[in-house]
């Protein structure tokens, strides 16, 4: 029997008791969204001595922060440095390159500093090549990023097989800075740290609308009035119509995952024996990890099924035993998904569409590390750091071109991409 829940919710420490907004409230900064971005921003603001309230529509970590793959990958998904340069211009290129490459180290430093129990391990991330053409592109791009301090290492077949146990991949790239966390444990632990710092965190507090009057923002929160000098919107793939144009600035996809109960050594022993995480170069990537408790997690990219629900689980169920033969016949007890948000230029976006209204989103599958960076920088912006001193450019909210047909046709488009991936992958097996 499948349990309709994430492994993360089952194995994470208990959440702090949810607090509900019981009356009107005035603070310096109101934050919409109680995930990694919003909580990290709240921590910095509270520690700076300002009053701050986090307003989460569900419970803390309800969105992607509690449902993601837990991989801490220190790299933006842009292919080459020139792509980043084109997206952000010369002024911000070096800053964003350095910020992204340091993002994993920053997150593990934060976890250590606040002693957050979340099974954090910085054992490295391996990206394996699904065909020769992908290998050539991957190595060329990694070499370019190494000139900016990425420190990628190239792996040949013997090391790929030894370090991953995966089949069908002859080469790969290793980032020693990468790693993994238990994401629900991290978001719940960060919630406790934020509250201890003096921030207020309210669950089941959806912001219905907001308007600026007399130099302050006025928010309607489930019938209560919250006023703030500054509002931070940290909703990423769960953005709605609260801020005009924000939802349509990103393309929503799904991170789809499944996990087992603890496995026998014969089943999990050959897989990622030194604790690395893994993903591959396919257009519809796979990503996987093993947990300290012996569970195996395997994931990919999904889409809205027009019949209702999330499509893509069948693909990863077929891929898992082909990638890791010892998993043939195991029971995938847990299955879950969560929204991720893609920007058209594949870099995170920071916007200030009105005075005192700041939005940060668009992590493109790198959210575990980059969301914490964004939260920190949103806090700096709210506390008065000039825009020109931030690592992200402050831009107008763009419209994602041809978003509607891409959303509607996601299933067919992904099926076509998967067919290409499979043909290339099988040719290398």
Triad 62, 65, 70: Cα angle to 5°: 135
Triad 59, 60, 65: Cα angle to 5°: 120
The reported pLDDT for the residue numbered 75 is 84
Q: Are 268 and 148 in a shared domain?
A: yes
pLDDT tens digits along 245-257: 999 999 999 999 9
pLDDT beyond 80 at 210 = yes
What CATH number is associated with residue 148? 3.30.9.10
Q: Are 16 and 37 in a shared domain?
A: yes
Q: Are 257 and 113 in a shared domain?
A: no
pLDDT beyond 80 at 4 = no
In the chain, the number of structural domains is 2
- Please compute, for residue 383, the number of CA atoms within 13 A of its CA located in the half-sphere on the CB side: 20
Q: Are 99 and 29 in a shared domain?
A: yes
pLDDT tens digits along 171-195: 999 999 999 999 999 999 999 999 9
Q: Are 6 and 69 in a shared domain?
A: yes
What are the tokens at 223?
């019938």
Query: Mean pLDDT over residues 208-228, rounded?
Result: 96
pLDDT beyond 90 at 83 = yes
Q: Are 167 and 217 in a shared domain?
A: no
Coil, helix or strand for 407? helix
**C-alpha to C-alpha distance for 157 and 179, rounded to whole angstroms:** 21
Range of the domain at 355: 1-121+178-247+344-398
Q: Are 276 and 292 in a shared domain?
A: yes
Q: Are 78 and 33 in a shared domain?
A: yes
Q: Are 84 and 169 in a shared domain?
A: no
Query: Mean pLDDT over residues 384-408, rounded?
Result: 95
Q: Are 131 and 202 in a shared domain?
A: no
Of the pLDDT bands very low, low, confident and very high (cuts 50, 70, 90), residue 77 is: confident
Predicted structure pTM score: 0.95
Q: Are 130 and 212 in a shared domain?
A: no
Closest to 288 in 3D by CA, of 271, 303, 274, 266 = 271
pLDDT tens digits along 270-307: 999 999 999 999 999 999 999 999 999 999 999 887 77
Q: Are 163 and 266 in a shared domain?
A: yes
What CATH number is associated with residue 208? 3.50.50.60
Query: Mean pLDDT over residues 125-133, rounded?
Result: 96
The reported pLDDT for the residue numbered 78 is 87
46-51 long-range contacts (CB < 8 A, ≥24 apart) are 46/194, 46/197, 46/198, 46/199, 47/197, 48/379, 48/383, 50/383, 51/27, 51/198
**C-alpha to C-alpha distance for 20 and 9, rounded to whole angstroms:** 21
């Amino acid at each position: 029997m499948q349990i309709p829940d994430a492994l993360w919710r089952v194995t994470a420490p208990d959440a702090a008791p949810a607090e509900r907004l019981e009356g009107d409230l005035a603070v310096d900064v109101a934050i919409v969204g109680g995930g990694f971005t919003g909580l990290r921003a709240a921590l910095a603001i509270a520690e700076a001595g300002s009053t701050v309230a986090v307003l989460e529509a569900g419970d803390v970590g309800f969105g992607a922060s509690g449902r993601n793959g837990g991989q801490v990958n220190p790299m933006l998904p842009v292919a080459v440095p020139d792509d980043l340069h084109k997206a952000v211009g010369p002024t911000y290129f070096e800053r964003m390159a350095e910020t992204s490459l340091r993002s994993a180290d920053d997150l593990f430093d934060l976890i250590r500093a606040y002693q957050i129990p979340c099974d954090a391990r910085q054992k490295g991330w391996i990206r394996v090549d699904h065909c020769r053409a992908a290998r050539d592109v991957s190595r060329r791009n990694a070499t370019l990023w190494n000139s900016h301090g990425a420190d990628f290492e190239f792996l040949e077949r013997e090391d790929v097989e030894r370090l991953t146990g995966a089949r069908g991949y002859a080469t790969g790239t290793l980032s020693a800075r990468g790693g993994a966390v238990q994401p629900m444990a991290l978001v719940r632990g960060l919630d406790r740290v934020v509250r201890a710092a003096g921030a207020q965190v309210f669950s089941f507090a959806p912001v219905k609308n907001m308007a600026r009057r007399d130099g302050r923002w006025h928010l309607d929160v489930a019938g209560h009035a919250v006023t703030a000098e500054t509002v931070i919107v940290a909703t990423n793939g769960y953005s709605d119509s609260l801020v005009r144009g924000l939802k349509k600035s990103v393309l929503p996809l799904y991170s789809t995952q499944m996990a087992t109960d603890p496995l026998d050594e014969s089943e999990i022993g050959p897989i990622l024996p030194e604790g690395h995480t893994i993903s591959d170069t396919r257009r519809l990537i796979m990503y996987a990890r093993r947990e300290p408790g012996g569970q195996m997690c395997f994931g990919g990219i999904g889409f809205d099924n027009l019949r209702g629900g999330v499509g893509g689980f069948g693909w990863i169920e077929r891929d898992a035993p082909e990638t890791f033969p010892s998993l043939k016949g195991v029971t995938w007890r847990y299955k879950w998904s969560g929204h991720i948000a893609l920007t058209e230029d594949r870099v995170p976006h920071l916007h200030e569409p009105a005075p005192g209204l700041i939005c940060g989103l668009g992590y493109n599958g790198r959210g575990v590390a980059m969301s914490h960076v964004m939260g920190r920088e949103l806090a700096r912006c709210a506390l008065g750091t000039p825009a020109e001193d931030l690592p992200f450019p402050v831009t107008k909210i763009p419209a994602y071109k041809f978003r509607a047909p891409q959303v509607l046709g996601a299933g067919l488009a992904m099926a076509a991409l998967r067919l290409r991936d499979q043909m290339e992958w099988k040719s290398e097996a």
